[in-house]
Amino acid sequence: MKTREPSGPPGAAARNRRAAADDASGFPRPLLERLALYYQIATSEGEEGQDAISSAFLAELIGIDATLVRKDMAAAGITGRPKVGYAIAEVLARLDSVLGLTDRNDAILIGCGDLGSAIARYAGFGRYGLKIAAVFDVDPTKIGRSVGGHVVLPMEKCKSFIEIFRIQIAILAAPANGAQETADWLVRKGVKAIWNFAPVHLRVPDDVAVRNENLALGLAQLIHMFKVKRGNLQVPVPAPDAAQTEPELGAKRTG
């Protein structure tokens, strides 16, 4: 069993639970992303028969400091035991609640090209509270095909599907040239969250949540990091700004 020291002083447990009672939207995005990673790792470890998990183990897998893991766990209201770690059952139950995974949400998928088809076939969304309820496309050659257990429907049926089943989440895997127009249409039909895989940054109203997954940008960042680590690319170090390093005449130093 993988174990290690848990987080926080003993008196912090009640404060942690109160802080974590807030909606997940109150957490900064980097923290939410780390909590999702902890959930994924804890799920995998639980499926392998482990009953506890340590901050050191999580930190090593993710590439962060164990102190940050313990702070994250405390923020989510998860406490551990010295030399035992965090009980996986408690981690999963708490993160289920914090991340909103206990709610089962139906979503529609728009766009059934190569990427959309892969998304439709992915069986792991259910673990995170998401079910793809229907798949839509405008291409007549794709309509009627079965993809991931879904029959691809024409966009003409999308409006009624949203209204009948009160769909509020859409996954967008459409081409870039029509993505913003499709997003605008979805918003007008009442969709409140869009997971965007189109290579364009969507603009939506403030009351609509959007997550832009820019694969091209991610690839560019990966290649850049690869070249830096291989020594083929030097990262320029900006020269210090004299206005920032030298105080003005008569100015008082602080601190």
- Give all domains of the chain, ordered by start, each with its CATH number: 12-98 (1.10.10.10), 105-215 (3.40.50.720)
Q: How far is CA 182 from CA 9, 20, 190, 201, in A?
A: 50, 36, 13, 13
In the chain, what is the straight-line distance between the N-terminal and C-terminal CA atoms, in Å? 48
CA 29 from centroid of its chain's CA atoms = 8
Question: What does each of the 255 residues of the chain score in pLDDT, given as a tens digit?
Answer: 444 444 444 444 434 433 433 444 478 889 998 999 999 899 888 878 888 999 999 999 999 999 999 999 999 999 988 888 999 989 998 988 888 777 788 999 999 999 999 999 998 888 888 999 999 999 999 999 999 999 999 999 999 999 988 999 999 999 999 999 999 999 999 999 999 999 899 999 999 999 998 777 778 888 888 888 887 666 565 555 544 444 444 444 443
pTM of the model: 0.61
Contact of 107 with 115, CB cutoff 8 Å: no
The secondary structure of the chain as a DSSP string is -------S-TTHHHHHHHHHTS-GGGS-HHHHHHHHHHHHHHHHHHHTT--EE-HHHHHHHHTS-HHHHHHHHHHTT---BTTTBEEHHHHHHHHHHHTTTTS-EEEEEE--SHHHHHHHH---GGGGTEEEEEEEES-TTTTT-EETTEEEEEGGGHHHHHHHHT--EEEE---HHHHHHHHHHHHHTT--EEEE-SSS-----TTSEEEE--HHHHHHHHHHHHHHHHTSSPPPPPPPPHHHHSPPTTPPP--
